[in-house]
Chain A
């Protein structure tokens, strides 16, 4: 039995409790995925920004070079947060 028919069975045979469980899982999953997934990238990007500011304060003539590296590192760090965003969007909109 695949996920779509399983959820369909839950919703049709479970009545209002089934629908409640279906929406509970969907919304709770999306919220938890986004909330916990935002912690890691936030800490990581703050770290990167702090160290880049530190380096720029020490060597102001390097700031142009450092900014590109900082943006690149930030974009790479951001990806885990974006994966959780994609998972949350899938749970909210794509799930049958």
Chain B
């Protein structure tokens, strides 16, 4: 994108934000009712498996669909265009990190694919949390659907999504370790350096997915609630633009990067 077009695009973005802020200021009355609540659908007896979070499902499939559309639009040719060059440098950066931290060359490609798909998915869904969109909050009677009073619902602000990914990383890393080193040697790694330390090893393995998932969840969810509470004082006029820019784009992209970096580090550390 040339400099002139970028400048025009930025001005257009700011103008759109300010128009949306004015609309929100005069049309909607903002209230903190239902902050932090989720729209949950119960079916059956509503036990552990009888609950569903429809916004998470809808938005995760939307993010996947968006990613597939973008991926299909990039055609790889012998002489790279601008988009292809950008994608190649970006993928190369990650590939070098994988080469640095995964010692076994047989598992480098799988690790790269896993980490890269996490990065793309989480960065797109975090960036969605930095744009104004549809807001669905459960209130006392039914649902409250409002347009442009809050950001899009991000799938990563649901702990179920993050915990699922962190557990997937745990299972995959142990599976790779068992396949690379053999089952006996893998089991023996729990009793190192001393059989007395077996409980500590187990605890450190359990702590991995918990910190891995709660980090992303705390950043995204805490940022969203902070933006809502701070901008409640100004009735959604100008302040959310900067806060969304900070929490949605800056923090969101860094956390997506950190999540995939930790994925590589966890898989690589068990393969040593």
Contacts and interface: CB of A to CB of B under 8 A. Distances in A.
B234 interface: no
A94 B218 CA distance: 15
Contact of A78 (B36, B215, B261): B215
B225 to A, nearest CB: 6
A75 interface: yes
B217 interface: yes
Contact of A71 (B35, B37, B261): B261
Contact of A89 (B221, B258, B262): B221
Interface residues of B, number: 20
B36 A72 contact: no
A14 to B, nearest CB: 25
Interface in B1-56: 35-37
Contact of B215 (A75, A89, A92): A75
Contacts of B217: 86
Contact of B222 (A72, A82, A94): A82
Nearest to B216: A82
Interface residues of A, number: 15
Interface of B: 35-37, 97, 211, 214-215, 217-219, 221-222, 225, 254-255, 257-258, 261-262, 265
9 contacts: A68-B97, A71-B254, A72-B261, A75-B261, A78-B215, A79-B214, A83-B218, A86-B218, A89-B221
Given A86-B214, A86-B217, A93-B225, 8 more contacts: A71-B254, A75-B215, A75-B262, A79-B211, A82-B214, A82-B218, A89-B222, A93-B36
B226 to A, nearest CB: 9
Contacts of A86: 214, 217-218, 221-222
Interface of A: 68, 71-72, 75-76, 78-79, 82-83, 85-86, 89, 92-94
B214 A89 contact: no
Contact of B258 (A72, A83, A94): A72
Residues of A contacting B: mostly: helix
A73 B214 CA distance: 16
B36 A89 contact: yes
Contacts of A83: 214, 218
Contacts of A71: 254, 257-258, 261
A59 to B, nearest CB: 17
Contacts of A76: 211, 262
A5 to B, nearest CB: 19
Counting from the closest, the 7 A-B pairs by CB-CB distance are A82-B218, A93-B36, A75-B258, A85-B222, A79-B211, A79-B215, A86-B218
B222 A68 contact: no
A86 B218 CA distance: 6
Contacts of B225: 89, 93
A94 to B, nearest CB: 7
A72 to B, nearest CB: 5
